[in-house]
Structure 1
């Protein structure tokens, strides 16, 4: 293992203070398996930062390396300008919230939240005051006397969050903490978590494989693949200007045009991406017709319909259309219909360059 001793590093270039987290050439190998293969990353103070990727991409391992639960094979972990690579977890100014919450079932909510302060031998009156403040922050005032078994999944999640916040860490690490919740509660807690993060001002680093979750909450997102970071960007930048085919396919639904089809549709070779909601089904738009095909299937999703259109060149594209009229029978009746597909130049992303095709402002924009 290659680690460095505790030292202070300077602030990031162009800023007046060191980032909350700096990772430099961070690597973790398990035998011949490279779980993390040389990661460089800065997370600024007060950010809600997400690490997004499929299972096995390295995101959780990076979180554990930041927390000190794993030792790196190479590289450095720097927190607030101080190299903590060789420090144990308890000597780092971070706290972690896990997916299973890890609450003590025999303790009431208040004592669960107080637990970390008891370990640190904080005086009883102070730890009670801080625990009650933490419960108020997560909107659980009045629940201090309950046991975890008497709480809903969302309430237990907030108790775990309060237990982490009560220690007033510089960085809070969250390892897929919403994974056990049902979809409705999960979405409610996404908004709640972001609200709490803004209120307390602590840096949150959130690990998830759910791209919608990351887009909803994050200031910035790092997309992981095979132990490396493919792209770091804001949610809008990540979705509208993916840097690679992997990012385009993993973050949202993406249609890829390659090979002979790309040459026929775009006019030149390469790999191009067009999002389903950017495509118009039919020629009733100012955007030029790009391709023709046949509707092979229609997927009804309540607020939207997904049309699967097989192009004359053989590739199938997904087209998303809002269900404004609520006429499901009419939408389903389009199976087998021959259609034209249109989109604006500005909405086609050239993945060999990682940016949209240039177009004259206003030219080719849909009505």
Structure 2
């Protein structure tokens, strides 16, 4: 990644009194797979539309590869967008769908055909060029939409929840395929999703949105292991929040379910007693919900083995943890150590 593909400075979009995007700064590097993650109404899709030129900002500046494009129309920006609704033409072949944008731009027939075939090969659909969209699976149609965007060779490809219409198994397969395609073509991808698993699976970095602002920008590992706020800790995966009374230190602390243990604590571990209120069997893992006597309810996760025995609702248990598995949710998250 040699430069900055997208730079947003002081970007705002207001609809009357509603601040959909509020004074946002963000930089995305060239060749990066960057995801914008957040719940509905958090502002992530609005930012995507502002980058694409489908909306004009109330305030702020948008640059693509160092050139300001804030006032330019969508067709004047070197970006393409892939939506959840693939909007393929049913009466055209796969090749003709991919060629369509080039035909509008009056690209010569031979060049148009060559570029379409290259784009289809990049998404591994060159053998399907003569089929109609209805003859393809959902995942294949998604890749046709991707090829149609890639054929224009944009600086940036914007993807607005493109996997949302797929079933779970196919969505997970496409997550890996999308990342592989992005590596091969080397184009900057900006991916909008509300699914934290998608963001963690595919991204080089992730921005977590809330109420028109960014709560944290980090790599998937840092985002999961070192959340910067209670919102990030709760939205990216599952976190248990422990207070000063349990931890013995000021502030609020987060710990992931897989870092908690049930049963007799090991020497040096902190622990709290409670009652099991629910046991959720998930195949590969079991989540045990424990109401602690000291107040909060926590989730404990453990992988299942062939001889695993589920705990019983209503049973008494002890939950324990190591001090260095706790993450402070103050302004500067830190990991305490056993010796501190």
Match of 1:320 in 2: 301
Q: Encode CA deviations 1:243-268: one digit per residue, 9 max, x unaligned.
A: 111101100001112xxxx2321113
Single out whichever of 277-286 and 222-231 deviates more from structure 2.
277-286
1:32 aligns with 2:10: no
Match of 2:334 in 1: 356
The 8 Å contact of residues 239 and 256 in structure 2, kept in 1 or not, is answered as yes
**Structure 1 unmatched runs, 5+:** 1-14
- Give, in angstroms, the shift of residue 77 of structure 1: 0.6
The 8 Å contact of residues 327 and 336 in structure 2, kept in 1 or not, is answered as no
The 8 Å contact of residues 269 and 321 in structure 2, kept in 1 or not, is answered as yes
2:316 to 328, 334, 338: 338
- Give, in angstroms, the shift of residue 105 of structure 1: 1.1
Q: Following the alignment from structure 1 to structure 2, what is the Cα–Cα distance between the partners of residues 232 and 343?
A: 28
1:241 to 210, 222, 226: 226
2:274 to 276, 284, 293: 293
Match of 2:71 in 1: 86
Instruction: Describe the shift of the 1:46–1:286 C-alpha distance in structure 2 as closer, same or farther (beyond 3 A).
Output: farther
Instruction: Describe the shift of the 1:66–1:121 C-alpha distance in structure 2 as closer, same or farther (beyond 3 A).
Output: same
1:180 aligns with 2:158: no
User: TM-score when scaled to structure 1?
Assistant: 0.90
- Give, in angstroms, the shift of residue 336 of structure 1: 2.0
SS at match of 2:4: coil
SS at match of 2:20: strand
Q: Following the alignment from structure 2 to structure 1, what is the Cα–Cα distance between the partners of residues 227 and 332?
A: 6
Alignment of structure 1 residues 95-114 onto 2, 5 Å: 95-114=80-99
Instruction: Describe the shift of the 1:252–1:287 C-alpha distance in structure 2 as closer, same or farther (beyond 3 A).
Output: farther
Q: Encode CA deviations 1:20-78: one digit per residue, 9 max, x unaligned.
A: 00000000011111100011000000000000000000000000000000000000110
Q: Encode CA deviations 1:173-215: one digit per residue, 9 max, x unaligned.
A: 0000000000000000000000000000000000000001100
Q: Encode CA deviations 1:200-251: one digit per residue, 9 max, x unaligned.
A: 0000000000001100000000000000000000000001111111101100
User: TM-score when scaled to structure 2?
Assistant: 0.97
SS at match of 1:23: strand
**Structure 2 unmatched runs, 5+:** none
Match of 2:210 in 1: 225
Match of 1:7 in 2: none
1:263 aligns with 2:244: yes
- Give, in angstroms, the shift of residue 335 of structure 1: 2.1
SS at match of 1:355: coil
- Give, in angstroms, the shift of residue 355 of structure 1: 2.1
- Give, in angstroms, the shift of residue 345 of structure 1: 1.1
Alignment of structure 1 residues 1-150 onto 2, 5 Å: 18-150=3-135
1:304 aligns with 2:285: yes
Off by >6 Å, runs of 4+ in structure 1 = none
Q: Following the alignment from structure 2 to structure 1, what is the Cα–Cα distance between the partners of residues 87 and 284?
A: 38
The 8 Å contact of residues 287 and 342 in structure 1, kept in 2 or not, is answered as no
The 8 Å contact of residues 299 and 306 in structure 1, kept in 2 or not, is answered as yes
- Give, in angstroms, the shift of residue 104 of structure 1: 1.0
Q: Following the alignment from structure 1 to structure 2, what is the Cα–Cα distance between the partners of residues 263 and 288?
A: 16
